[in-house]
């Protein structure tokens, strides 16, 4: 094939891949244009995950009639004129590629009216070709409708992600920019249903409540930098909210960063926020944070990545220090004013002098648990009937002799000796000593029982005596909707009840005496992380999470009968040596090892 210059249309479609990778990219670029136009109301309507239709309406300044056609040419922009302007960008967009790229891979309609014009312009394009252009009556602002995205690039259409995945990603973009621009009223509608709305009040707290939920916001502390945080760089300001140490997640995906109103991905700044929680969070746990950094435009380079998601700072160490100091100070200030939240102690640095007022109201067992530095839960927190009392665990002992079940024994017969640290069961077997992790062992037992019952199609759900509601951020609500049938199969009956809200009708019987909202929060975190290696399905991941919450916890004192019951059931498990997460359930020290340690060999 000879070397030749590609047609302009083909070049445009190839270049579109740098900006328009998926429907969510279209939403992001058009929303940034609306914000740059000074919009105070932005409405986003999505159909079919964005593949069928994306419509974004705003009340910004609009486009002049004579500039509408120019706006859809490559590198057409009103935001800079010379290369020097790149050093002080104050707008979200500046390259002039988005509209041309979107139009080249879709059927696009724009209706716009500039604030200085008496009428608007309607223009339709198909693959960058103008098929209609006329004057129309329209309010000031712009409405862009993108239909049949990638209709002329079937290869890219083939590799698009699932519809619900795009819905979640779009919701993430909308909620992020709503937090960066709290004075703008955002509305997101997906498939005819409103899933997110911000008030436009100008208060970040209001947006966080709408985006992350009231329960999360109650466990967040405000960040406000001071000049003393970074005296050499007083022009750097850091604001936002970050979670108390008791609210954390398993990854950094819940840390949201903005620089001059632009959402960015920056591993160093994420690390700065995590480091601010040093000694306050366990290793591998991360806070939920919304952090807005404001710096002089000349001190940040936004022309680094095609999607503008990465930036470079002139003084990265100064930015790192400012963010870390501001977040750290907010967390330390919180440590000095502990509060009681939801039946357990929130915050850090608990002052035990504050307990004297209500410690006398606890039962002896609750006082004992409090003195052991364990979580305290009120007995009246959850109004559900337990499947069986904890004291009845011995009733599950597997019988021996002729009535023994068909399950083969996978461990030798073990004799319980005692318990160490209210966490490990000490048992003796024919070949030495066994230390059994009571939580991991019970988790394995419950997992295999759950899967066996599920395979036999037995009832594994229990109706809640009192209907509870669960309100989620838009992206998490879409995740629940995507997996609602799988959740139902394992015992969770969830009924949609308004935007991003569900009624919990039933829970797996294993969780009859626990808070379903906490379990579902963990399930959502697992679903966000995807399927782990070795897990064949999302359903398996959900069951594993249910069993983790239903199992006996470390720190729980067990009677001899209860310990013997766990051992007897573990002896009949198919995979007794690990919990469903792959963690060992027991350590074995042979008789020879014991003899060697005591110098009895040789």
Q: What is the pLDDT of residues 425-448, one digit of tens each?
A: 999 988 889 999 999 999 888 888
Asked if residue 356 has pLDDT above 60, the reply is no
Q: With a cut of 80, say whether residue 300 has pLDDT above it.
A: yes
Structure tokens at 126: 């198909």
pTM check: above 0.75: no
Domain boundary among 173, 197, 221: 197
CA distance linking residue 125 with residue 106, whole number of Å: 8
Contact predicate 27/50, CB 8 Å: yes
The pLDDT tens digits for 271-282 are 999 988 887 888
Residue 229: what pLDDT? 56
Are the C-beta atoms of residues 223 and 291 closer than 8 Å to each other?
yes
pLDDT single digits (tens) 567-594: 998 988 888 888 887 788 999 888 888 8
Residue 394's pLDDT is 40
Tell me, yes or no, whether 322 and 410 share the same domain.
Answer: no
Say if residue 247 is in the same domain as residue 314.
yes
pLDDT at 58 over 90: yes
Do 463 and 556 belong together in one domain?
Answer: yes
Could you tell me if residue 180 is inside a domain? Answer: yes
Q: 217 and 191 in one domain?
A: no
Q: What is the pLDDT of residue 351?
A: 38
Mean pLDDT for the stretch of residues 118-135: 92
Top-confidence residue, 204 or 454: 204
* Per-residue confidence (pLDDT) for residue 538, from 0 to 100: 65
491 within domain boundaries: yes
Of 197, 229, 251, the residue that ends a domain is 197
CATH number for the domain that contains residue 296: 3.30.230.10
In a domain, 594, yes or no: no
Q: Same structural domain for residues 411 and 501?
A: yes
Q: Which residue has the tokens 């009571």?
A: 438
User: Residue 578's pLDDT is what?
Assistant: 86
Number of other CB atoms surrounding residue 493 within 10 Å: 17
pLDDT above 50 for 40: yes
Judge whether residue 562 has pLDDT over 80.
Answer: yes
The total of structural domains in the chain comes to: 3
Task: Please indicate, yes or no, whether residues 50 and 161 belong to a single structural domain of this protein.
Answer: yes
Domain assignment of residue 72, yes or no: yes
pLDDT > 70 fraction of the chain, expressed in percent and rounded: 75
**Token output for 507:** 């829970």
One domain, residues 128 and 237: no
Query: What's the pLDDT at 113?
Result: 95
132 plus 251 within the same structural domain: no
Report pLDDT for 208. 92
* Shared-domain flag, residues 227 and 160: no
pLDDT (mean) for 180-187 = 95
Q: What is the pLDDT of residue 27?
A: 94
pLDDT of residue 8: 62
The answer to which of 178-187, 257-266, 270-279, 473-482 has the lowest mean pLDDT is 473-482
Q: Does 361 reside within a domain? A: no
Q: What is the pLDDT of residue 516?
A: 74
Q: Could you tell me the two tokens for 492?
A: 């969770």
Q: 320 to each of 232, 236, 270, 482, how far by Cα in Å?
A: 13, 11, 9, 38
The DSSP code sequence of 336-349 is TS-EEETTEEESSS
Compare 323 and 361 and report the one with higher pLDDT: 323
- What is residue 352's three-state secondary structure? helix
Which domain range does residue 486 map to? 390-588
Q: Are residues 462 and 525 in the same domain?
A: yes
**pLDDT tens-place string over residues 387-414:** 333 344 444 444 444 454 456 888 888 9
Q: Tell me if 250 is assigned to some domain.
A: yes
pLDDT over 90 at 182, yes or no: yes
Contacts of 134 (CB under 8 A, 6+ apart): 121, 122, 123
Q: How confident is the model at residue 458 (pLDDT cuts 50, 70, 90)?
A: low
Secondary structure class of 58 (helix, strand, coil): strand
465 pLDDT tier (thresholds 50, 70, 90): low
Q: Is the pLDDT of residue 136 over 70?
A: yes
Does any domain span residue 384?
Answer: no
pLDDT band at 86; cut points 50, 70, 90: low
The pLDDT, as a whole number, for residue 488 is 83
Under the banding of pLDDT at 50, 70 and 90, the label for residue 196 is very high
- Determine, yes or no, domain membership for 277: yes
Query: Confidence band (pLDDT; 50, 70, 90) for 365?
Result: very low
What is the domain-level CATH number for residue 69? 3.30.565.10
Same domain assignment for residues 36 and 121? yes
How far CA 17 is from CA of 11, 102, 153, 319, 425, in Å, comes to 10, 10, 11, 32, 58
265 and 164 in one domain? no
**pLDDT interval class at 299 (50, 70, 90):** confident
């Amino acid at each position: 094939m000879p070397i030749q210059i590609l047609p302009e249309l083909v070049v445009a479609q190839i270049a579109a891949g740098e900006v328009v990778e998926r429907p969510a990219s279209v939403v992001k670029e058009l929303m940034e244009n609306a914000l740059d136009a000074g919009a105070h109301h932005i409405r986003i309507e999505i159909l079919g995950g964005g593949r069928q239709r994306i419509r974004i309406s705003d009340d910004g300044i609009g486009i002049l009639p004579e500039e509408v056609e120019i706006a859809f040419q490559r590198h057409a922009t009103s935001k800079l004129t010379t290369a020097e302007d790149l050093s002080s960008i104050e707008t979200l967009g500046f390259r002039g590629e988005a509209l041309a790229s979107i139009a080249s891979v879709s059927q696009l309609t724009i209706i716009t009216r500039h604030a200085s014009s008496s009428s608007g312009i309607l223009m339709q394009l198909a693959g960058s070709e103008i098929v209609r252009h006329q004057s129309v009556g329209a309010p000031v602002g712009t409405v862009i409708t993108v239909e049949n995205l990638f209709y002329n690039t079937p290869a890219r259409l083939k590799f698009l992600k699932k519809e619900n995945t795009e819905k979640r990603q779009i919701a993430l973009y909308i909620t992020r920019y709503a937090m960066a621009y709290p004075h703008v009223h955002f509305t997101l509608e997906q498939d005819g249903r409103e899933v997110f709305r911000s008030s436009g009040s100008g208060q970040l707290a209001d947006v966080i409540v709408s985006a992350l939920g009231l329960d999360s916001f109650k466990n967040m502390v405000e960040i406000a930098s001071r000049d003393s945080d970074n005296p050499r760089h007083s022009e750097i300001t850091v604001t936002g909210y970050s979670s108390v140490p008791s609210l954390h997640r398993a990854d950094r995906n819940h840390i949201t960063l903005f620089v001059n109103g632009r959402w960015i991905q920056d591993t160093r700044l994420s690390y700065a926020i995590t480091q601010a929680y040093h000694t306050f969070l366990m290793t591998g746990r991360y806070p939920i944070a919304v952090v807005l950094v404001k710096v002089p435009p000349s001190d940040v380079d936004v022309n680094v990545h095609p999607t503008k998601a990465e930036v470079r700072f002139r003084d990265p160490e100064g930015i790192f220090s400012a963010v870390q100091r501001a977040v750290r100070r907010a967390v330390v200030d919180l440590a000095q004013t502990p509060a009681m939240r939801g039946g357990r102690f929130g915050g850090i640095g608990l002052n035990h002098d504050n307990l004297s007022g209500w410690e006398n109201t606890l039962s002896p067992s609750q006082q004992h648990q409090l003195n052991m530095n364990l979580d305290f839960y009120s007995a009246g927190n959850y109004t559900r009937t337990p499947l069986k009392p904890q004291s009845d665990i011995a009733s599950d002992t597997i019988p021996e002799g002729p009535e023994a079940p068909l399950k083969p024994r996978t461990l030798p017969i073990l004799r319980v000796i005692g318990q160490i640290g209210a966490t490990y069961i000490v048992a003796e077997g024919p070949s030495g000593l066994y230390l059994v992790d009571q939580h991991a062992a019970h988790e394995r037992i419950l997992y295999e029982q759950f899967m066996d019952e599920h395979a036999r199609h037995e009832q594994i759900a229990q109706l809640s005596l009192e209907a509870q509601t669960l309100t989620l951020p838009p992206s998490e609500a879409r995740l629940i909707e995507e997996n609602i049938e799988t959740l139902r199969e394992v015992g969770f009956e969830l009924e949609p009840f308004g935007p991003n809200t569900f009624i919990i009708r039933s829970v797996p019987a294993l969780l009859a005496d626990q808070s379903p909202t906490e379990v579902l929060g963990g399930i959502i975190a697992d679903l966000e992380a995807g399927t782990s290696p070795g897990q064949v399905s999302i359903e398996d991941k959900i069951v594993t999470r249910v069993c983790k919450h239903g199992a006996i916890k470390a720190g729980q004192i067990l009677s001899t009968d209860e310990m013997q019951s766990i051992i007897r059931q573990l002896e009949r498990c198919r995979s007794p040596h690990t919990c469903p997460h792959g963690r060992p359930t027991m350590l074995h020290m042979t008789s020879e090892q014991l003899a060697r340690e005591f110098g009895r060999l040789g």
